[in-house]
Structure 1
Amino acid sequence: MGNVWLVSALWLGLALIASIVSIRVAISVALIEIMVGAVAGNTIGLTLTEWVNFLAGFGAILLTFLAGTEIDPQVVRRHFRSSMSIGAVGFLAPYLGVLLYARYLLGWPWPQAQIAGISLSTTSVAVVYAVMVETGFNKTEIGKIILAACFVNDLGTVLALGIVFAHYDLWLALFGALTAVALALLPRFAPWFFKAVGHRVSEPETKFVALVLLGLGGMATLAGSEAVLPAYLVGMALAPSFLADPELPHRMRIIAFTILTPFYFLKAGSLVDFTAVAAAAGLIVVLLVVKLATKFVGILPLTRAFRFEPREGMYTTLLMSTGLTFGTISALFGLTNGILDRAQYTILVTAVIGSAVVPTLIAQRWFQPAFQPIRAEIPPGAKAALDRPASS
């Protein structure tokens, strides 16, 4: 189909169908979009043009950035040990489990086994954040803890992919230096800029954020990395500004969830080849089970140790077991660099997408905890005034 407008109508029509189905069955629209994309990709075919890939990629970048803006520094400080521990173990347990399984039981060479371990070590920021926003849990303490743990988990994935496979050259050094400078300057410059331009119809704030994300994303690509990688860090750097002005992230979420993220999730689903999946269904299920089992063995005991409510512990473990953005990026990295063949890529991507759907579906359907907004911090002076008996 060469008509760009009809192609656009097809993709947005599928996104609309996914939204309606999501409302009717009370399941996250991100998961429904993945399923709709898989069915459409294997029946009517979905055209992955350059502009579709751009919109899908920008959707992943913006969604990852918005997830970073939800990291509340006060909540992270209050739950630093739990977020760090859950995130670190959430990466290490499946990475080592899948790596050893692929190397010694499947007989894959070390490079392929390492890509398998990295691909299935992730927690999907895109899926988790989409679920959090849809359910309102991004405004709760448990939601903030999960998002912070997601960051730590995926930071481990990014570092592993970078350390094992990065090209150590001047481009990588320049990318690292520019990212460090941007992260140092943004918390100071952005609040001043946002205040100076104000809320305008022309959306200068949104354009500024997009400029930073696309600029750093372009440098990441030149360095042989992925454009989505700096987005989370930029989001964390701008988190105080976004938390102070809830209207700004609300406007950016409208842009993301209306026109960008549907392309990302539909594209992710369309990459699943039902024929190849049927041929390797057993291995895909086994890899998915290995990932979920190692996540549970690593994370669930930690939720008990940090005194999460049982329902919150299971919900956290299930959401930390998801995978999509960095998992597919890692698998695609292996394919494009000749580390994986097409069959191995299909197996890993399908297992990754399965990990986006299965644990999230179970978490939402049976283990969603009670909604508890973040407790407001009461200044010491105000607390003392409240504690004083009322005068007669």
Structure 2
Amino acid sequence: MDNPYSIAALWIGLAFIAALIAIRTGVSVSLVEIIVGIFVGNLFDVSSREWIDFLAGFGSGLLTFLAGAELEPDVLKSKLSQVLTLGVIAFLFPFAGALLFAYYVAGWDFEAAEIAGIALSTTSVAVVYAVMLETGFNETPLGKVILAACFVNDLGTVLALAILFVNVTWYLPLFILALAVVLPLAPRLVDGVVRYAGGRISEPEVKFVFLIIFGLGGLAAAGGSEEILPAYLAGMILAGTFLRERTLVLRMRTTAFSILTPFYFIRAGTFVDVSAIVSGWWLVAAFLGVKMATKFVGVRPVTAYYRFPQREAMYTTLLMSTGLTFGTISALFGLTHGAITSDQYAILVTVVILSAFVPTLIAQQFFKPALEDHVVQRPAPAAAVEAALTSRDGAVPSPSGDGNRAPADAPVKEA
């Protein structure tokens, strides 16, 4: 079946089924999409295509951009110590633990052990952000701290991969220069586009944001870095703009979750080889245990130091034990550069994808805090108050994206 429309119909059909299952079971849709990908990938021939890889990569980049845009500057400033400590510890402990286990216990050579350490040091901003949106925690201080700490964690992963395995080209200085020039100007540029051309049916402000993501991503790829890195940074830099332009955020979320992220999460599931799990089950289980144990040993004491309540501490620790985007990127980098074998790649990718599922499921089912304990409310803006007064029974969509409705005169929730 080489007809792209038929292939697209199959993938979107799988995404639709996953959405229905998620609604029925209450499990995060991103996790259900991964499970659907595992099931379909091991039973049928769903070989990926170049255009599917592009949509999946764009979905990953857009998710991380939107996650960065949720990092409210005032919250970051007030919680900077927590964010940096959680992020750095969450990177260092599993990096060292997985590297040492791969080298001394599994018997891998040192380069392969380095790849294992890098691949298993990550969190998954994409998974965590999707979960935060579904639960509404993206609007809370706790959710913003977790997202920001995940950002710091994955930044450490990217830097480790670049330092240990960098392939410098002349594009790299150009990429760094572009970051130094574009990122400081990005808020003013986006604000200008919104003022001049915002609110039009052609969505020029959305196209301009995509231009920034694609342009910097192209330079990053040419310079030997990861295309997703500038998406992180651009989202963080534009957080203040997106805090003011919430409608723009909602439109971009619709683009991401309706068409792009299903390709990303389902495709990730298709990489899990059940036969590799069966034949190397002890390594898969051991690496997954090492990752989760080292995350727990590192992150849990930090949450205790900052006096997180018990449930919130476990929730934070488990969500920071996830992994997906940079884990699979790091494993694929090791395979294509000859640092690991195909069997080692299968094991690492399986562990990474299981780490996106297992900790998140445990966190959501057993340790999810009560949302009302973390949402800070403020009076509705003047426009919203006026709309509420002129419409007795109007309704606005819930920002959680799960189809719930809120009354038009409900107070605006803020972290």
TM-score normalized by the length of structure 1:
0.95
In the alignment, the residues of structure 2 paired with residue 284 and residue 177 of structure 1 have an alpha-carbon distance, to the nearest angstrom, of 41
Task: Give the Å deviation of 1:190.
Answer: 1.4
Aligned twin of 2:82: 82
Aligned twin of 1:171: 171
Local SS of the residue matching 1:13 = helix
Letter in 2 for 1:258: S
In the alignment, the residues of structure 1 paired with residue 91 and residue 243 of structure 2 have an alpha-carbon distance, to the nearest angstrom, of 28
Aligned twin of 1:2: 2
Task: Give the Å deviation of 1:374.
Answer: 3.6
Percent identity between matched residues is 56
Letter in 2 for 1:98: A
Letter in 2 for 1:63: L
In the alignment, the residues of structure 2 paired with residue 172 and residue 166 of structure 1 have an alpha-carbon distance, to the nearest angstrom, of 10
Task: Give the Å deviation of 1:274.
Answer: 1.2
Aligned twin of 1:71: 71
- State the superposition RMSD in angstroms: 1.1
Local SS of the residue matching 1:225 = coil
1:278 aligns with 2:281: no
Letter in 2 for 1:309: P
Task: Give the Å deviation of 1:193.
Answer: 1.6
Extract unaligned runs of 5+ from structure 2. Answer: 380-415
In the alignment, the residues of structure 2 paired with residue 118 and residue 136 of structure 1 have an alpha-carbon distance, to the nearest angstrom, of 31
Aligned twin of 2:375: 373
In the alignment, the residues of structure 2 paired with residue 376 and residue 162 of structure 1 have an alpha-carbon distance, to the nearest angstrom, of 43
When the two structures are aligned, how many residues end up with a matched partner? 377
Task: Give the Å deviation of 1:188.
Answer: 2.1
In the alignment, the residues of structure 2 paired with residue 71 and residue 276 of structure 1 have an alpha-carbon distance, to the nearest angstrom, of 38
Extract unaligned runs of 5+ from structure 1. Answer: 378-392
Task: Give the Å deviation of 1:273.
Answer: 1.2
> Residue 40 of structure 2 contacts residue 46 of structure 2 at CA under 8 Å; is this kept in 1?
yes
Distance 1:273 1:247, change over 3 A: same
In the alignment, the residues of structure 1 paired with residue 103 and residue 43 of structure 2 have an alpha-carbon distance, to the nearest angstrom, of 35
In the alignment, the residues of structure 1 paired with residue 280 and residue 222 of structure 2 have an alpha-carbon distance, to the nearest angstrom, of 35
Aligned twin of 2:131: 131
Aligned twin of 1:230: 230
Task: Give the Å deviation of 1:376.
Answer: 5.0
> Residue 98 of structure 2 contacts residue 117 of structure 2 at CA under 8 Å; is this kept in 1?
yes
Local SS of the residue matching 1:39 = helix
In the alignment, the residues of structure 2 paired with residue 105 and residue 376 of structure 1 have an alpha-carbon distance, to the nearest angstrom, of 54
Task: Give the Å deviation of 1:168.
Answer: 2.6
In the alignment, the residues of structure 1 paired with residue 264 and residue 55 of structure 2 have an alpha-carbon distance, to the nearest angstrom, of 7
Letter in 2 for 1:330: S
Aligned twin of 2:296: 296
Aligned twin of 1:317: 317
> Residue 169 of structure 2 contacts residue 224 of structure 2 at CA under 8 Å; is this kept in 1?
no
In the alignment, the residues of structure 2 paired with residue 149 and residue 346 of structure 1 have an alpha-carbon distance, to the nearest angstrom, of 28
Aligned twin of 1:146: 146
In the alignment, the residues of structure 1 paired with residue 368 and residue 308 of structure 2 have an alpha-carbon distance, to the nearest angstrom, of 13
Aligned 1:50-69 pairs, distance under 5 A = 50-69=50-69
Task: Give the Å deviation of 1:337.
Answer: 1.2
> Residue 22 of structure 2 contacts residue 28 of structure 2 at CA under 8 Å; is this kept in 1?
yes
In the alignment, the residues of structure 2 paired with residue 12 and residue 93 of structure 1 have an alpha-carbon distance, to the nearest angstrom, of 38
Aligned twin of 2:386: none
In the alignment, the residues of structure 1 paired with residue 290 and residue 14 of structure 2 have an alpha-carbon distance, to the nearest angstrom, of 32
In the alignment, the residues of structure 2 paired with residue 5 and residue 168 of structure 1 have an alpha-carbon distance, to the nearest angstrom, of 39
> Residue 123 of structure 1 contacts residue 150 of structure 1 at CA under 8 Å; is this kept in 2?
yes
> Residue 7 of structure 1 contacts residue 47 of structure 1 at CA under 8 Å; is this kept in 2?
no
> Residue 168 of structure 2 contacts residue 224 of structure 2 at CA under 8 Å; is this kept in 1?
no
1:197 aligns with 2:197: yes
Aligned twin of 1:348: 348
Task: Give the Å deviation of 1:184.
Answer: 1.3
Aligned twin of 2:208: 208
In the alignment, the residues of structure 2 paired with residue 126 and residue 328 of structure 1 have an alpha-carbon distance, to the nearest angstrom, of 13
In the alignment, the residues of structure 2 paired with residue 213 and residue 233 of structure 1 have an alpha-carbon distance, to the nearest angstrom, of 10
In the alignment, the residues of structure 2 paired with residue 192 and residue 169 of structure 1 have an alpha-carbon distance, to the nearest angstrom, of 34
1:215-270 CA-partner distances (Å, limit 9, x unpaired): 11111111122211110100011110101111111000000000000000000000
Task: Give the Å deviation of 1:47.
Answer: 2.6
Aligned twin of 1:45: 45
TM-score normalized by the length of structure 2:
0.89
Aligned twin of 1:14: 14
Letter in 2 for 1:358: V
Task: Give the Å deviation of 1:365.
Answer: 0.4
Higher relative contact order by CA 8 Å / sep ≥ 6: 1 or 2? 1
In the alignment, the residues of structure 2 paired with residue 111 and residue 179 of structure 1 have an alpha-carbon distance, to the nearest angstrom, of 30
Letter in 1 for 2:211: L
